[in-house]
Amino acid sequence: NEIYRNGSISVFEVDGNRSLTYCQNLCLLAKLFLDHKNLYYDVEPFLFYVLTECDEHGCHPVAFFSKEKVSVMDYNLACILTLPPYQRRGYGRFLIALSYELSRLEGKAGTPERPFSD
């Protein structure tokens, strides 16, 4: 589900229950860059928001964040990763702002899980 598009940037919402292998692969990719990442296979309770850059060849993932579908603590962000070649372009800040906007639309205050990713 594409939920945002502006120029060559798109964001897709991916349900961990419906796209199990894709979301597991996102988690395994994140593990390469985040030492403390420990969730790889239990992705069903999460939604993933994948930021892509689109060109004539398609949309290519550059960053993502995940959040629990149902969070007792009203967390709006569980894990966030921007791939190294795409860092320092504001994508992380954009995804954090998107997580707060999604919480606002859901009528929740929302806050990221602690500790925040390095």
Span 5-64, pLDDT tens digits:
999 999 999 999 999 999 999 999 998 888 776 666 789 999 999 999 999 999 999 999
Active site residue 68: no
Report helix, strand or coil for 69: coil
pTM of the model: 0.90
For the chain, the distance separating the N- and C-terminal CA atoms, rounded to the nearest angstrom, is 28
Pairing assessment for the beta strands 111-112 and 46-55 based on DSSP bridges: unpaired
> Which value, to the nearest 10 degrees, does the dihedral of the CA atoms of residues 88, 9, 115, 46 take?
-160
Kindly list the strands in the beta sheet with 9-15, ordered across the sheet, starting from the edge strand earlier in the chain: 2-6, 9-15, 46-55, 58-68, 79-82
Of 2, 101, 106, 113, catalytic: 113
Q: Does 118 score more than 50 pLDDT?
A: no
